[in-house]
């Protein structure tokens, strides 16, 4: 049990107790973490990865749950609760008094809770309301039906909540709707003592003849000196609260940050000292520009780093595990290092998952992986009412403010495939004006909120997109902007079809294979080792995917006799597909970048 005596912070992580609202299920709950993982540890539910267990654990997300723990508090004055990655519709109570109602997994909440605290023993509770039921309730409250991707999501109405879309299922993911407190949860004394760097409006680099300028805007509503140090320089800010100050550093002959393969990943320590509190960040000095100028074909799409155009080699990043507790920093580093080892220099954080934890971007800074960062909207249509847009505005401002200092951030993109989704649903095909207007409102709200925090960001409205203010089909248009090319996989075309398009920038393409036999044996028994077995079929989330792999194999190979051989050849086949696309598109430089 944490104590507040002589401290300004109480960490509320650790072992909590989780109880279903009907009282039938109880277990220890490890925070940060997801509730499903704790129920697995307690033996209440089986591991959803194994066999067909996924379908036997969906009931968990259909119930309300209450997580609770005790803590000791001996403080005084104003105290705040600091919580992020709270998934999703939840109410927090301290000693039975409501202190927070949350419904956005992508925001950080810091409510004042002084009125609920008492000296001595206190109890905190998180009431997790069923996200399945809450999503359905919000859909019914809409003035008109807002479609979601039924091809991806067996659990409906994921577009109603600011929650990772892939939790409702995807063509690669389990559909179990995990929930919980995945990030920081703590009590902090006096909100004005929060890390000052969180109040930093902008961190941007500007190339100049004498070197590079670093300009920070520091805000404070508390009297006292604030000392800012960077690259061997130091400045002290003194003023009467509240105040906002610009801090300017000029770094002569700087050591620049480069993407891996193009130079070193040099970084400087930024240190902000405010009273007894010290906050540090590692800042890479670089300039990243998005080149989208028009040419004879259409318009380019390329990244220029420190004045040099960089050919981007990379992949799309989905959450490292379907259960958030398992997506550890160690696993994340292993995967990102694998990307570097495969000669990648860019990762696209895809819009159906999370804005990743701080350590994800720290690792990308360190490894030299540029990050294309989607905002978390994917493959659905979304509400555009004032309440929803206000919530989006707060989410976007928080995330840009949190991440914009990272050298790795190369681009902010409004969404994944929302323009294409306008053509996917009967409702939007029959009333395109209504749904297009709603999309335009949402997309512009995202852009305005992002640029309100940092006007210097590289902004791209959607992926794929031909460019700004364009709502046409970018799926098969290779003249401008970025492109998603899935004809070989989804349409079953020959690998040579990759040579029929000349993308300016292909931000998505792919071909499936089976995982290794070592992985298959983790979720399937010997009797399941058949491509048409119920277990193998249930683990194939893309409709018709197993048949497509087999049909392609008939085209290129002698069909394997044993299941293990089929798995192996599927991986060889996958490699041939990727090689065909990559080798050809690389020959198109600088048309394709």
Q: Give me the helices (H) in 288-431, please.
A: 329-341, 358-367, 386-403, 418-421, 426-430
Check: CB of residue 72 under 8 Å from CB of residue 224.
no
564 is catalytic: no
Helices in 404-470 by DSSP H: which ranges?
418-421, 426-430, 432-453
Catalytic residue from among 54, 125, 356, 417: 417
Peptide bond into 464 cis (omega under 30): yes
Question: Distance (Å, rounded) from C-alpha 364 to C-alpha 1?
Answer: 35
Cα 513 to Cα 26, 350, 554, 562, 574: the distances in Å are: 40, 20, 14, 16, 6
DSSP character string of 29-98: EEESEEHHHHHHHTTSS--TTSTTGGGGSGGGGGS-EEEEEEEEE---S-EEEEEE-EESSEEEEETTEE
SS3 551: helix
What is the token pair recorded at 320?
């490292």
Q: Is 551 labeled as catalytic in the residue annotation?
A: no
The edge-to-edge listing of strands for the beta sheet with 33-34 is 33-34, 180-181, 86-87
Query: Is 363 within 8 Å of 333 (Cβ atoms)?
Result: yes
**Chain centre distance of CA 240:** 38
Residue partners of 413: CB distance under 8 A and separation at least 6: 351, 372, 373, 374, 375, 459, 460, 461, 462, 463
Q: What are phi and psi of 109, to 5 degrees?
A: -110, 140
Chain-centroid distance, C-alpha 495? 31
CA 4 to the chain's CA centroid? 34
Residue tagged active-site, from 125, 134, 447, 508: 508
- What are the residues facing 100 on neighbouring strands? 92
| Chain centroid to CA 512 | 23
Point out which residues pair with 316 in neighbouring strands: 348
What residues are annotated to the active site? 417, 508
């Amino acid at each position: 049990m944490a104590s507040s005596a002589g401290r300004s912070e109480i960490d509320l992580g650790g072992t909590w107790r989780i109880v279903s609202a009907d009282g039938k299920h109880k277990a220890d709950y490890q925070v940060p973490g997801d509730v499903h993982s704790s129920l697995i540890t307690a033996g209440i539910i089986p591991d959803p990865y194994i066999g067909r267990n996924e379908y036997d654990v969906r009931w968990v997300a259909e119930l309300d749950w209450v997580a609770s723990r005790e803590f000791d508090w001996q403080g005084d004055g104003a105290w705040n609760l600091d919580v992020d990655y709270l998934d999703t519709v939840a109410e927090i109570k301290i000693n039975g008094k409501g202190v927070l109602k949350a419904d956005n997994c992508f925001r950080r909440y810091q409510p004042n809770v002084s009125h609920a605290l008492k000296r001595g023993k206190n109890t905190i509770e998180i009431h997790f309301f069923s996200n399945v039921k809450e999503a359905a309730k919000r859909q019914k409250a809409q003035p008109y039906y807002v479609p979601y991707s039924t091809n991806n999501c067996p659990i409906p109405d994921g577009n109603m909540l600011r929650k990772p879309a892939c939790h409702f299922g995807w063509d690669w993911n389990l559909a179990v709707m995990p929930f919980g407190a995945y990030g920081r949860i703590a009590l902090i004394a006096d909100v004005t003592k929060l890390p000052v760097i969180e109040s930093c409006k902008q961190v941007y680099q500007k190339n100049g003849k004498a070197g590079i300028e670093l300009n920070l805007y520091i805000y404070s509503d508390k009297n006292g000196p604030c000392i800012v140090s960077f690259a061997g320089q130091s400045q002290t800010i003194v003023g009467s609260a509240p105040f906002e100050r610009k801090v300017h550093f000029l770094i002569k002959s700087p050591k620049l940050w480069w993407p891996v393969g193009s130079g070193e990943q040099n970084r400087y320590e930024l240190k902000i000292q405010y009273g007894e509190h010290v906050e540090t960040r590692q800042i890479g000095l670089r300039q990243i520009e998005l080149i989208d100028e028009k040419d004879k074909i259409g318009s380019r799409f390329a990244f220029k780093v420190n004045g040099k155009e960089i050919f981007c080699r990379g992949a799309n990043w989905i959450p490292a595990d379907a259960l958030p507790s398992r997506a550890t920093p160690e696993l994340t580093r292993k995967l990102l290092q694998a990307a570097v080892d495969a000669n990648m220099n860019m990762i696209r954080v895809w819009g159906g998952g999370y804005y990743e934890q701080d350590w994800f971007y720290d690792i990308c800074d360190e490894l030299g992986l540029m990050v294309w960062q989607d905002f978390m909207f994917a493959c659905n249509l979304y509400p555009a009412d004032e309440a929803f847009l206000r919530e989006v505005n707060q989410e976007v401002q928080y995330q840009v403010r949190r991440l914009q200092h990272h050298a790795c951030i190369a681009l902010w993109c409004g969404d994944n495939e929302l323009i294409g989704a306008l053509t996917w649903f009967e409702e939007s095909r029959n009333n395109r004006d209504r749904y297009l207007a709603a999309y335009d409102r949402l997309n512009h709200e995202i852009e305005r909120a992002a640029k309100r925090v940092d006007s210097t960001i590289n902004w791209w409205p959607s992926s794929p997109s031909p460019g700004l203010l364009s709502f046409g089909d970018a799926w098969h248009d290779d003249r401008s902007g970025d492109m998603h090319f899935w004809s070989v996989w989804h349409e079953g075309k020959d690998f040579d079809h990759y040579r029929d398009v000349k993308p300016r920038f292909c931000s998505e393409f792919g071909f499936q294979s089976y995982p290794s036999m070592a992985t298959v044996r983790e979720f399937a028994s010997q009797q399941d080792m058949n491509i048409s077995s119920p277990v193998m079929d249930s683990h194939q989330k893309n409709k018709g995917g197993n048949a497509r792999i087999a049909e392609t194999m008939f085209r290129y190979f002698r069909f394997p006799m044993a299941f293990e051989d089929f798995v192996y050849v599927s991986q060889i086949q996958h490699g041939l597909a990727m090689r065909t696309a990559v080798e050809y598109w690389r020959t198109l430089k600088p048309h394709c970048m």
